[in-house]
Amino acid sequence: MKPDTSTAAQPRRQRAAQDPLWLRVLLTSIALAIVGILIFLPILHVFVHAFSEGPFRYFEHLFGDSANRDAILTTLSVAPRAVILNLVFGVSAAWLIARFRFPGRTLLLTMVDLPFAISPVVVGLALVLLYGNQGLLGPRLSSAGITVLFNTPALVLATTFVTLPFIVRELIPLMESVGPDEELAALSLGASGWQMFWLVTLPGLRLGLLYGIILCSARAVGEFGAVYVVSGRIAGRGQTIPLRVEQLFQQYQSPADFALASILTGIALASLFARRLLESASGPRKIQSATTSGDAA
Amino acid sequence: MSSRVPLPGFALSLGYTLTFMSLIVFLPLAAIAWKSADLSWEQFVQTVSHPRALAAMRLTFSTALIAAAINIVLGLIVAWVLVRYEFPFKRWVDALIDLPFALPTAVAGLVYASLYMKDGWIGRFIVPMGIEIAYTPAAIVMVLVFTGFPFVVRAVQPVLEEIDTDLEEASAILGATRWQTFWMVLWPNLRPAVVTGFALALARGLGEYGSVIFVSSNLPGKTEVAPTLIVARIEENKFAEATALALVLLLSSFALLGLINVWEKWSRRHEA
């Protein structure tokens, strides 16, 4: 790889730490087989089965069936709300945790990760215990005419809970690495707090926000366990795409099922692709900001 | 240091963050605590030691453990190959590693259910050989291996990248075989990352529901995992029993994550 022949000892030393060719070939084949069987084959399987009856039937499955159409619409109304809620929360919590030191900060940081440690089914149960007929708040809310459970609000609450850490976790390290210098400069030049926020803080977080939103959306669209418990699963009402996938599975409607699954798979693949793009975009950007700050100094 | 800096918005962001977390996270968890307070100790023990519950717990813990253990081996091989070797399409393979995090569990379940059936892409080869995976606990392990796969790879990869190959060279020059070098030089460095990846995969496996209900036959006492039993109890309106089971799941995953934290601190102190 490296045409560095200046030191004669180099090749021998490298060989000493390198695996023999047979081992390299063997391990690479095993690794490719693992990724192939575990990940690549399933993706291929989704698309092959989705299009097994041709592209026309594919779109008919997606949009011709009213329950499928409703599932797509429900997902489109639930996921963005959860993402927006977590976006505002993410910016607020990141500002708090990355810019201030206060008692309880470490605890708060741990709490932000809590949803990762809780089974989605338990999240669903918690919402049922809170908003159900026999729940803590359910009876009071329903006498006020508000139904949360088995209704869109419950789907949004469940999805928001499960995807809560994604955006904050992207923003905190980014905000910490950027540091408050530019914000302080803006303030000392007479900017108001909100001017500083809109003109300095947010633009600096651009890539992190974008990446966090992508991750959060991908997970929000695909959430199953928590949503399964609180949806009530009445066809056409409160049924998201993943729930409809499960229902079609029970009804042995394979091509329609894989057609819906292909949307979710496409979103997952797109989020991975976008991540790679952002990562390669953030590389040169880091260098650029380093040079500009060097110029300023 | 930052606390002395007169940045604005502390009260606003503190207030908003705490209010939001209370409404979304703490209030529901308080409902679980409230329900568990209703539960007497005898009731709790009775629910958790019910044969069906015991069988579900046993299946949940054993399948999650086996899957996480398998992921140690698979994860180490894949991380090693990705860090140390060059091969075509390496960037694409590396990008695919994260798919199990991004792919909805329902899709994973759907695909894994049909891959291993008699006429599935993989089943048609292995079923004639007498390997029946579909609807058995083996299918649960398979799908948990999938959902937990990125944890070990992504934990080990950065550590492996940072390890100085000088150490390996020294070890080779001193006459160690590759295998000895791995066990005596590399493994001690990799162990904390492997343990972290293992514990995260395990914690994820304990709570997994979406993919499992597709690939398992969900028979009570046989192929029913704890999250499935919790859902069944919720659907029967037996909330006390569902809460008791949920508590066991919650406490075990908290204990796991607590253990990782302690372990990480401990191994960092011993490094220094």
CATH number 1.10.3720.10 is the correct assignment for the domain at B40-271: yes
Q: What is the SS3 assignment for A52?
A: coil
What pLDDT sits at residue A148?
83
Hey, where are the domains in chain B? Answer: 1-38, 40-271
What pLDDT sits at residue A145?
86
For residue A229, give both structure tokens: 């418990």
What pLDDT sits at residue A14?
52
What is the tens place of the pLDDT at every residue in A195-239? 999 999 999 898 889 989 998 999 999 999 999 999 876 555 678
Pick from A13, A83, A101, A118 the residue to mutate for testing the B interface (most B CBs within 10 Å): A118
**E strand or H helix at B85, and its extent?**
none
**Least CB-CB distance to A100: which of B2, B104, B203?**
B2
Residue B192 confidence (pLDDT) above 70 = yes
Spans of chain A below 50 pLDDT: 1-13, 284-297
What pLDDT sits at residue A12?
47
User: How far apart, in whole angstroms, are the C-alpha atoms of residue A241 and residue A69?
Assistant: 9
Q: Quickly state the pLDDT bin for B171 (edges 50, 70, 90).
A: confident
Which residues of B are less than 8 Å from A17 in CB distance?
Answer: 165, 168-169, 172
What is the tens place of the pLDDT at every residue in B27-68? 999 999 998 888 889 989 988 899 999 999 999 999 999 999
Would you call B125 exposed, middle or buried from its count of C-beta atoms within 10 A (0-12, 13-18, 19+)? exposed
DSSP sequence for B228-249: HHHHHHHHTT-HHHHHHHHHHH
Pick from A1, A21, A28 the residue to mutate for testing the B interface (most B CBs within 10 Å): A28
Cβ–Cβ below 8 Å for B104 and A128? no
Beta strands in chain B (DSSP E): none
Residue B20 confidence (pLDDT) above 60 = yes
Identity of the amino acid at B26:
F
Residue B77 confidence (pLDDT) above 70 = yes
Best CA proximity match to B54, nearest among B256, B248, B271, B255: B248
User: How far apart, in whole angstroms, are the C-alpha atoms of residue A21 and residue A23?
Assistant: 5
What pLDDT sits at residue B166?
82
DSSP sequence for B201-236: HHHHHHH--HHHHHHB---TTTT--HHHHHHHHHHT
**Is the minimum CB–CB distance between B255 and chain A shorter than 8 Å?**
no
Best CA proximity match to B208, nearest among B51, B101, B72: B101
Residue in chain B lying closest to A227 (CA): B210
Pick from A195, A224, A248 the residue to mutate for testing the B interface (most B CBs within 10 Å): A224
User: How far apart, in whole angstroms, are the C-alpha atoms of residue A278 and residue B95?
Assistant: 13
User: How far apart, in whole angstroms, are the C-alpha atoms of residue A175 and residue A204?
Assistant: 8
Are residues B74 and A5 in contact, defined by beta-carbon separation less than 8 angstroms?
no
CATH number of A54-296: 1.10.3720.10
User: How far apart, in whole angstroms, are the C-alpha atoms of residue B178 and residue B172?
Assistant: 7
| CA B200 vs CA A34, A270, B64, B97, B197: distances in Å | 20, 25, 11, 16, 5
**What does pLDDT average to over chain A?**
85
Q: What is the mean pLDDT of residues B237-246?
A: 92
For residue B221, give both structure tokens: 């006492």
Cβ–Cβ below 8 Å for B8 and A85? no
What pLDDT sits at residue A41?
94
Which residues of A are less than 8 Å from B85 in CB distance?
Answer: 24, 27-28
Min Cα distance A225 → chain B (Å) is 5
Residue B2 confidence (pLDDT) above 80 = no
Hey, where are the domains in chain A? Answer: 17-50, 54-296
